[in-house]
Chain A
Amino acid sequence: DVKVTQSSRYLVKRTGEKVFLECVQDMDHENMFWYRQDPGLGLRLIYFSYDVKMKEKGDIPEGYSVSREKKERFSLILESASTNQTSMYLCASSSPASGSFHNEQFFGPGTRLTVL
């Protein structure tokens, strides 16, 4: 079974703190993603990475950065946390499509971050 793990299930931080969210996958997937989930808005893509040291901005990258030094690990960094970054953060991984075979994304359990 594919396993995607996230370092924390719940996290409480203060405004202005630097926050690190870690994600690890064990299936040798090339693609990794960070989403945030807010009620009524579905999932919004923050950043994704398609290879080590490669990253692409998603729909809402402002206030976030990412790091992918190893294939299995993808970190999301909040440089200076703000209250509007209180949310559920979901990490996902997938392997690229091959021909007509489009692969699903596999998700971690999520980190519920509260910024006070």
Chain B
Amino acid sequence: AQSVAQPEDQVNVAEGNPLTVKCTYSVSGNPYLFWYVQYPNRGLQFLLKYITGDNLVKGSYGVEAEFNKSQTSFHLKKPSALVSDSALYFCAVDLDNYGQNFVFGPGTRLSVLP
């Protein structure tokens, strides 16, 4: 089955340290990958996407993600975490060419500790 996994339910990091939120995928064909963030009692906000081209993608709020085809991963990273980065992060994959078939991972809760 085509799917997206986020192996960590919770990630804790100290403010100023680098953060990584992990995502792996299992799809047939080309993966079209997305990261979203959700702040408390809000909808999801788009951060970045990988469609093709450069494996390192930069997004909003200073985050970036690296597409690794051999490891089927698309980890989200930020060099220096802020307390305001604390949120729920979702990885997603678009399974078709019509934008109608997104599969979301279960989410990873990031807590940045002051």
The answer for the CA separation of A35 and B96 in the assembled complex, in Å, is 18
CB distance from B19 to the nearest CB of A (A): 20
The answer for the CA separation of A40 and B34 in the assembled complex, in Å, is 19
Q: Would A96 and B99 count as touching, CB distance under 8 A?
A: yes
Q: A104 and B100 in contact (CB under 8 A), knowing A40-B9, A110-B41?
A: no
- Interface residues in B33-88 by Cβ distance below 8 A to A read 34, 36, 41-46, 49, 51-52
Chain B residue at minimum C-beta to C-beta distance from A39: B107
The answer for the CA separation of A56 and B101 in the assembled complex, in Å, is 11
Q: Would A56 and B100 count as touching, CB distance under 8 A?
A: yes
CB distance from A25 to the nearest CB of B (A): 12
The number of A-B residue pairs with CB atoms under 8 Å apart is 68
Q: Would B94 and A97 count as touching, CB distance under 8 A?
A: yes
Chain B residue at minimum C-beta to C-beta distance from A91: B43
Residues from chain A with Cβ under 8 Å of B9 in the complex: 40
With an 8 Å Cβ cutoff, the count of chain A residues facing the other chain is 31
CB distance from B76 to the nearest CB of A (A): 15
The answer for the CA separation of A31 and B40 in the assembled complex, in Å, is 26
Interface size class of B (residues with CB under 8 A): 20 to 34
Q: A43 and B104 in contact (CB under 8 A), knowing A4-B43, A100-B52, A102-B94?
A: yes
Q: List 5 A-B contacts (CB under 8 A).
A: A31-B100, A100-B51, A104-B46, A104-B49, A110-B41
- Name B residues whose Cβ lies closer than 8 Å to a Cβ of A: 9, 32, 34, 36, 41-46, 49, 51-52, 90, 94, 96-100, 102, 104-107
- Name A residues whose Cβ lies closer than 8 Å to a Cβ of B: 4, 9, 31, 33, 35, 40-43, 45, 48, 50, 56, 90, 92, 94-97, 100-110, 112
